[in-house]
Amino acid sequence: MKNYDVIVIGAGSIGTPTSYFLAKEGLKVLCIEQNSSPGQGQNKAAIGGVRATHSDPSKIHICKKSIEIFSHFQEKTGIDIGWKTGGYCYPVYTESDEKLLKDLLPKQKQNNLNIDWVDAETIKELIPGINPIHLRGGTYSPEDGQVSSLKSTTNFFLLAKKQGAEFIFHTQVQSIQAKQDKIYAVTTDKGTFHTDILINAAGATAAQISLMTGLQTPVTSDCHEAGITAPVAPFLKPLVVDMRPGPEGKTTNFYFGQNHDNQIIFCYTPKPTIIGTTRHNTSEFLPIIAQRLVDLIPRFKNLQIRRTWRGLYPSTPDGIPIIGRSPLHKNFYLAIGMCGQGFMMGPGTGANLASLIVHNKPLIPEEIFNLMNPSRDFYKTQELLA
C-alpha cells in the first residue's frame, strides 16, 4: 500500500498543473484520473481563452497568475504551447451593456487589471470588419490571451512527471477514508492509497467526490458547444465577447478568437441553461452561431467550419469557484466549480494551492483568496462576467 504526501483527484485543467506545482515543491504526489490520459474531460473542450477580465476579485487575481505562467511558459521551459497575447475585447452596442462595463472598471482597476473603455473607432481597429451600426465602443484588456488547452495540459503532465509526480489512469475512486477530521486514504478499483493531503480537482464529477467525505458542494454541470474553422490569414488579435442576447432568445453572450494556428474558435452561452452531462452535439448550434458570427463580422460568411463539440461547465450558484480547505476535514482541499473557466484558472489555482499547502498561505492576498472558500454564502454575490 503506497503512501503519498498528496493525492490529487482529476488530471485535467486544474489537477495537472496542481500536481506539477506540488511536485516542484518536493512533495510526493499521486494524481488519479478516470479517463485514459490527462485533459480528456472538460479540458479538451476549452477554446483556450485566458482572461483576467472578471468582476470578482478572486478570479481576477487567480487568472492574472495564470496569464503570468502561460505567457512565460516557453521562455522558462523551451516548450511552445501556443500562447498568443492579443487581449480580450467586449464590443458594446447597447446602453445597458455600456453602463455595466463602465461600472465594473473602477473595481477591475482597483485589482490591478489592465483594462480600459475605448471608443468605437478603436474597436474597429481591434476587430477589423466589425459591424459598425450602433457600435458604442467597448472595453479592452490587452494582457489577456489565448493558448492551446491540449498542448498546455499535456506539457504540465510531462513536467509534473519529470518532477516525480505519479499518474494513474482508467482509475475510479470508490471511497475516501477518514478518522475524525482527517482523511487518510483513497480506495480505487486499482487499490487503496494512503495520503497526508487530498485535493478534489475532479471537474464534472467533483460533487460526487466531495460527497464521499460527507461534504455537499453546490456544483452542477451545464452544457456548452463550441467549434473551430480552417485557418485563415491572421487579422484578429483579441478574443471577442459579444454580450447581447442572440436570435430567438436562445443564447446570451457569444465569443470567439483567432488562435495561434490562425483558426477561428468560437462558442456561445445557451439560454435557458442546459443542465446535464451529455456531450453530444446538437443540430441547432451551428446555424445559431453562424448567424451571430456573420452578423457581427460579415466577412465571416466565407469561413469553413472544421468541427464542433460539446463540453460541460461545472458551475456554482454565484459563478465563483470553490477553492480552499474543506470545513469537515483539515487536510482535504477543493478546487472545483470553475464555471467553465477551469482552463484559464488552472495554473493560477495550482500555484496558489501549492503555496497554501506547503507555505500555509496562497500567493494572492488571503482576503481575496478566501472569497472562494467552500463555506461561503453562495447566494450573496454574483460574478457578472461569468
Which residue, of 270, 299, 315, is where some domain finishes? 315
Among 315, 334, 364, the domain-final residue is 315
The predicted structure's pLDDT at residue 28: 98
Pair (281, 230) in one structural domain: yes
Together in a domain, 311 and 322: no
Residue 124 has pLDDT above 70, yes or no: yes
The answer on pLDDT for 386 being more than 70 is no
Host domain of residue 156: 3-66+149-218+318-372
CB 344 within 8 A of CB 51: yes
**pLDDT tier at 50, thresholds 50, 70, 90:** very high
What is the tens place of the pLDDT at every residue in 177-220? 999 999 999 999 999 999 999 999 999 999 999 999 999 999 99
Does the pLDDT at position 233 exceed 90? yes
Q: In the structure grid, which three cell numbers stand for residue 240, read together?
A: 471577442
DSSP label at residue 357: H
196/120 same-domain check: no
CATH number at residue 28: 3.50.50.60
Q: What is the mean pLDDT of residues 50-63?
A: 97
Q: Are residues 131 and 250 in the same domain?
A: yes
Residue 77 lies in a domain: no
pLDDT score of 248? 77
Statement: residue 294 has pLDDT above 90: yes
Considering the domain architecture, whether residues 181 and 307 belong to the same structural domain is answered as: no
Same domain flag for 286 and 354: no
Lowest mean pLDDT among 167-171, 278-282, 341-345, 371-375: 278-282
Domain at 130, CATH number: 3.30.9.10
Which of 315, 331, 364 is the last residue before a domain boundary? Answer: 315
The interaxial angle of helices 57-71 and 342-359, nearest 10 deg, is: 90
Query: What CA–CA distance (Å, rounded) separates 255 from 201?
Result: 26
- Average pLDDT in the chain: 96
